[in-house]
Structure 1
């Protein structure tokens, strides 16, 4: 067993292990969709054989940032929009750790948008859950990057003049290998999608629709919803990039027309992860970096020993 990651023999995991012993009282509003994310994550982690000592949840600022306060695992609460670079560093240092990053639509698609694009492009092996409620919730209802055109808020009292971003399409264009959308009102699908995302070897992006009954009453409860994998009206090959792109475009249009489509949109089973590519070219050791901290005999390398001097 590693002295760092506490990963030991396989055993049956109970979902209650992910509930803190001294459970904090959630401060999410009654009816908030964030409860659905927490429940689905607690259900998915045991099913992939992970225990609390094998999981790191990295969160940003916002209502979603409270996730690791209510989940018994390693946790890191970052500054606004910076959950992904911290998550990437942790995964590269200890690849055996299951890393789940989380943030809101303002945190992930706005303030942290640049990190989102490049983490997807580099295909880092982690799961990224974006709590998408189409509004800045914790700061009391400002317009976010996913707020629909015409949405009125404190920052856009006459209605937003901007077309919202398309997070699914943006994720595909950036290079994410697993892309899905689910909703808090569909707990069974949410659990299965999170489970698949965790098991995926690469960057898995989940756009998780989380209703905000306090600050975004326009979005209601994201119902009725349609699972595109179960509907006879929709049929696309999730391994075909072109078909996935077309399905995403239709899904993103329909959301603002009142029809909620959810499901798996794209899965790339061939692209290597960032870690695999770095190891293939000799720029990353096979031995996890964190193991060196527990080896008293390890002779540390310094950058000036590895690089040629400039002449």
Structure 2
């Protein structure tokens, strides 16, 4: 079965379909929050009616990069910080695929930060899950873009003098149309948020707090957490950019002080996705471009036929 004849094939889906037939032994450390991401994703995909044949997971380098090794879908293990451009290309070639990109905080907010900003700005229709454990884990514990100020590591033995980036605020400023934060210690909320992100038409960014018990022992385990939608102490409109920005700032201010706020922060259902914009402009075909590889009668267009000559 290909990614083309499987799309739109409605049927009952069991979450175990996402477990490889010969399941590899996970190499994540015991107690790693990455297990929570895998579990939440395997629960969310059947809930939104997506089969393994309809799903592509692109990952970068790092502990998060192993995600698609433990998930029986189409997968593409890219290089460091490059899961988003590969995911964008796949979605443009076959917009019937459910495209999910994943990376760590160093992979996504550091090395791949520029791709993150512009994928959000262009509102590509995909889900981006960032495993945020405030450390470079696979390379044995170096300071990352989200490590708190003063955190001691192999690269900053005296404690980092830099303040951490604000991923939620950066996502909003860049143009993402669905922004949420969840944590591995809150599996029910994580499943619901990932399901919403997958169903969202546009760029959906999920900052997923994942504890690292091996290389970030000083970090809290992100408990107790507070769901901003369920708490009476927080009241804001997730469709209002200004109110969302204020709530994000408060969330990012208090994280390293021991208050873990999670939930949905911003949702924009009105802005068209990049794919919709391009189709409206007639810049991409209505049918999946990738299908031409399977159609011997398809007429191929070349760039020199589409562009006017410079005179």
For the aligned pair, the TM-score class normalised by the smaller chain equals over 0.9
Question: Separation in 2 of the partners of 1:46 and 1:166?
Answer: 32
Aligned 8 A contact 2:251 2:261 in 1: yes
Q: Pairwise mapping of residues 108-123 of structure 1 onto structure 2 (< 5 A)? A: 108-123=108-123
Partner of 1:158: 158
Aligned length: 311
Question: Separation in 2 of the partners of 1:105 and 1:8?
Answer: 34
Question: Separation in 1 of the partners of 2:140 and 2:7?
Answer: 41
Instruction: Please provide the CA RMSD for this pair.
Output: 1.0
Question: Separation in 2 of the partners of 1:123 and 1:80?
Answer: 22
Deviations 1:55-107 (A, max 9, x none): 00000000000000000000000000000000000001000000000000000
* Unpaired segments ≥5 residues, structure 1: none
1:3 is displaced (CA, Å) by 6.4
Question: Separation in 1 of the partners of 2:163 and 2:191?
Answer: 31
Aligned 8 A contact 2:3 2:53 in 1: no
**TM-score, with structure 2 as normaliser:** 0.98
Q: Which has the higher mean CA deviation after the structures are superposed, 238-247 or 215-224?
A: 215-224
Q: Pairwise mapping of residues 70-109 of structure 1 onto structure 2 (< 5 A)? A: 70-109=70-109
Aligned 8 A contact 1:17 1:52 in 2: yes
Deviations 1:168-191 (A, max 9, x none): 000000000000000000000000
Aligned 8 A contact 1:5 1:96 in 2: no
Question: Separation in 2 of the partners of 1:103 and 1:60?
Answer: 5
The answer to whether 1:40 aligns with 2:40 is: yes
Q: Pairwise mapping of residues 192-203 of structure 1 onto structure 2 (< 5 A)? A: 192-203=192-203
Question: Separation in 1 of the partners of 2:183 and 2:263?
Answer: 9
The answer to whether 1:12 aligns with 2:38 is: no
Question: Separation in 1 of the partners of 2:40 and 2:230?
Answer: 20
Aligned 8 A contact 2:135 2:215 in 1: yes
SS at match of 2:106: helix
SS at match of 2:218: helix
Q: Pairwise mapping of residues 141-290 of structure 1 onto structure 2 (< 5 A)? A: 141-290=141-290
Aligned 8 A contact 2:3 2:97 in 1: no
* Unpaired segments ≥5 residues, structure 2: none
1:220 is displaced (CA, Å) by 2.8
- Going from structure 1 to structure 2, the CA distance change for 1:76 and 1:2 (only over 3 Å counts) comes to closer
Deviations 1:5-51 (A, max 9, x none): 63252001000000001000000000000000000000000000011
1:282 is displaced (CA, Å) by 1.3
The answer to whether 1:140 aligns with 2:140 is: yes
SS at match of 2:102: strand
Q: Pairwise mapping of residues 46-85 of structure 1 onto structure 2 (< 5 A)? A: 46-85=46-85
Aligned 8 A contact 2:131 2:208 in 1: yes
Question: Separation in 1 of the partners of 2:52 and 2:172?
Answer: 31
Structure 1 ranges of 4+ moved more than 4 A: none
Aligned 8 A contact 2:150 2:160 in 1: yes
Question: Separation in 1 of the partners of 2:276 and 2:178?
Answer: 17
